[in-house]
Chain A
Amino acid sequence: MSEENSEENDTEENDTEADKIAVPASVQRSVFSWRDLLSESAAALTAKPTRTLLTALGTILGVAALVTTIGLAKTAGNQIVSRFDELEATRVLVRPVDRQQGQNNVEVSVIPFDADDRLTRLNGVVAAGTKSDVPIEGLARSVPVVDPLGQNEFQIPVIAASPGLFPAVRATLETGRVFDIGHDERADNVAVLGPGAARRLNVSRVDNSPAIFVGTETFAIIGILADVEREPDLLNAIIIPNGHARERLGLGAPAEVHIETEIGAAELIGSQAALALAPDNPELLRVSVPPSPRGVRTSVESDVNALFLILGAVSLLVGAIGIANVTLVSVLERTGEIGLRRALGATRSHIASQFLFESAALGALAGLLGSSLGILTIVAVSATRQWTPVLDPWLPVAAPPLGALIGLLAGTYPAWKAAATEPITALRGGT
């Protein structure tokens, strides 16, 4: 029965100049204005709002999944990166290379005691300080009184530090002060306690010049730390100046150097630190710099994205099939309307454009709703995780056009089907 009107197809779009001349002046062509295209599509979409919403549901969920995935990956990635930014991205650690690999057994440490000075001269270093474990015989105690009821002698690590270590690990003081270059140079027997060590040694104030005893050594406590942001082993340690450790406890050379750099300077300092500390053999020093933030971000994003983008794409595909399916059904349902429109003067392309526009508008609507839903999800997840939601501005902007594109693709076959509907059979059906 398709041959009934097959001749009509041939001439449908033959709007050549020759045709126009052949047409008598009195023939007025039919039109379909943009305004009518909009209002006719809007009327069709709002005629059955529940069905319209259900039709769009697959695409809504697909777009929501995509937006959520991309947005959450971005949010999570930024979260990790911002933590790195605060601490890790400004941290450089210098250690000697493993001694076992050295050819001679001579314990020549290449880290000098004036590491603070050498490094703070570099542009980009905020603070630098050395830190070394000091092997010391004996337990630590605060009062020379033997209390049979309580333990008052403890194994507490002793750490030798340069004055610059405190700012380099972002130490904050509970009370008192930290030692300075003077203490260091004079090899004073002073000490700063980490909060854990202070609690165990029952030292809570320094204004009465408390003293502690470690083995045979005596130290005057000049300060108690509240917290450190790096090197948490300092929290439970007795921290003494390098000078004293060198003179009285046989510290040959600092074990490691901690550097706090300005943001973004870590890699630069990393490349310069070894040379600044040991210009003669920088290869004996191992410098650790934080991983590049960009690298972190992309690796996190790609991990999360790969899986969920596939999921989002699949749901978009399902959504598109949903639109195509329901639109096809509605084309069949609206056969009578199509026939009527043809009788009222619509061409095949008018019919096709109406159905195409309807499904594209439906897709755009789904994109809008989906991206709203996705953004809400991002905000909700961020709120429960106490993250800062981060959103690319192009994401909500791109979602409706993406939806429209999906709708357009999904509507192609139904629109073609609608345009191919013969008005004769359509009008016979009768609704």
Chain B
Amino acid sequence: MTVPVVRLANVSRVFEGSPPVVALNEANLEINQGDYLAIVGPSGSGKSTLLHLLGLLDRASSGVYYLDGIDTADLSERDRAGLRAHRIGFVFQSFHLLGHRTAVENVMLADVYRRDGQRRRRERAVASLERVGLGHRIDAFPTTLSGGERQRVAVARALTGEPSLLLADEPTGNLDSVTSEQILDLFDHLHQGGLTVAVITHDLDVSERAERHVRIQDGQLTQPIESAAARGSSGGGPGGGRSVVPR
């Protein structure tokens, strides 16, 4: 049996203060290899906190987080940075491309901090851009790219290191509905190629594409047993509120 890519066991994140804010409460989550997971929740629900924990940008207050079977709790900052570089690919809502670099140079940036990324960097970056369908625009600057193309460059950047997990934070938040569709098609395509994808969103059109759904509300993570089952139900959580999947 293969090790799950992500295993959260009773993970909490509490922000100190008066009163302390429990952003994530005793979350349990497993993401297996090849999963396409959507984490859905309204803003302020704690989904950003979950994203940062999953992306190793933040540390849990309690609980255990295994990434590829590695317990990340006791790792040093350098090791966590190494895990980010080698095992996680990030896609952000606002793309985060460097304006003065071409598409291929932006993709090559991902190899800078990677131990195995020192040679044949450009070759890998070009291959990655071709994979997202941008082989014809490798030398274009971000300013001359459309929003959808920019997000594709960002996806290509996330893909160069063959990450265990593609972590997308509102990937279509800055895109119109047509280009959103194209990006989601790209995710589908990548998922079919075997990539593990976790998308964090409040957009139901986005979450609809995923195989599995978990909902987060007021720091509580709830997962429907089966995504197909969730499709029909209205999926009320502890806080009540919105349904994950309409229609």
Contacts and interface: CB of A to CB of B under 8 A. Distances in A.
Given A342-B81, A430-B96, A30 B68 contact: no
B57 A3 contact: no
A15 interface: yes
Interface in A4-21: 4-5, 7-9, 11-15, 19
Nearest to B167: A343
Contacts of B52: 424
A430 B84 contact: no
A232 interface: no
A350 B100 contact: no
Q: Which of A11, A14, A29, A345 has the most CB of B within 10 A?
A: A345
Nearest to A16: B76
A31 B78 CA distance: 9
Given A30-B113, A43-B101, A24 B70 contact: yes
Given A12-B77, A424-B58, A30 B93 contact: no
Interface residues of B, number: 43
B230 to A, nearest CB: 29
A47 B94 CA distance: 21
B153 to A, nearest CB: 12
Given A5-B59, A424-B52, A430-B93, A345 B76 contact: no
Interface string A19-40: 1001110111111110010001
A347 interface: yes
Contact of B82 (A7, A345, A428): A345
A276 interface: no
B96 to A, nearest CB: 4
Contacts of B93: 430
B79 A23 contact: yes
Contacts of B90: 340, 343-344
A33 B82 CA distance: 14
A333 to B, nearest CB: 11
Contact of A336 (B17, B81, B96, B113): B96
Nearest to A346: B113
A226 to B, nearest CB: 72
Contacts of B17: 3
A114 to B, nearest CB: 88
A16 B118 CA distance: 26
Contacts of B114: 28, 30-31, 345
B96 A27 contact: no
Interface residues on A, range: 35 or more
B209 to A, nearest CB: 23
A199 B102 CA distance: 85
A29 B100 contact: no
A28 B78 contact: no
Nearest to A29: B82
Contacts, number: 133
A129 to B, nearest CB: 79
B119 to A, nearest CB: 11
Given A15-B76, A23-B79, A27-B75, A427 B96 contact: yes
Contacts of B77: 8-9, 11-13, 347-348
A419 to B, nearest CB: 11
A337 interface: yes
A379 B94 CA distance: 54
Nearest to A345: B85
A209 interface: no
A423 B81 contact: no
B89 to A, nearest CB: 9
Contact of A29 (B55, B81, B99): B81
B96 A340 contact: yes
B98 interface: yes
B14 to A, nearest CB: 10
A31 to B, nearest CB: 5
A344 B78 contact: no
Contact of A346 (B68, B81, B94, B157): B81
A205 interface: no
B86 interface: yes
B198 interface: no
A13 B81 CA distance: 12
B165 to A, nearest CB: 13
A336 B99 CA distance: 11
Contact of A345 (B70, B81, B100, B169): B81
Contacts of B101: 43
B112 A40 contact: yes
A177 interface: no
Q: Which 6 A-B pairs have the closest CB atoms?
A: A345-B85, A430-B94, A345-B113, A29-B82, A47-B100, A12-B77
Interface of B: 15-17, 48, 52, 55, 57-59, 68, 70, 74-86, 90, 92-94, 96, 98-101, 109-110, 112-116, 118, 157, 169
6 contacts: A11-B76, A15-B78, A28-B114, A30-B114, A36-B112, A345-B85
Given A19-B76, A47-B99, 11 more contacts: A3-B16, A11-B75, A12-B76, A27-B70, A28-B116, A343-B90, A344-B157, A345-B82, A347-B78, A348-B77, A424-B48
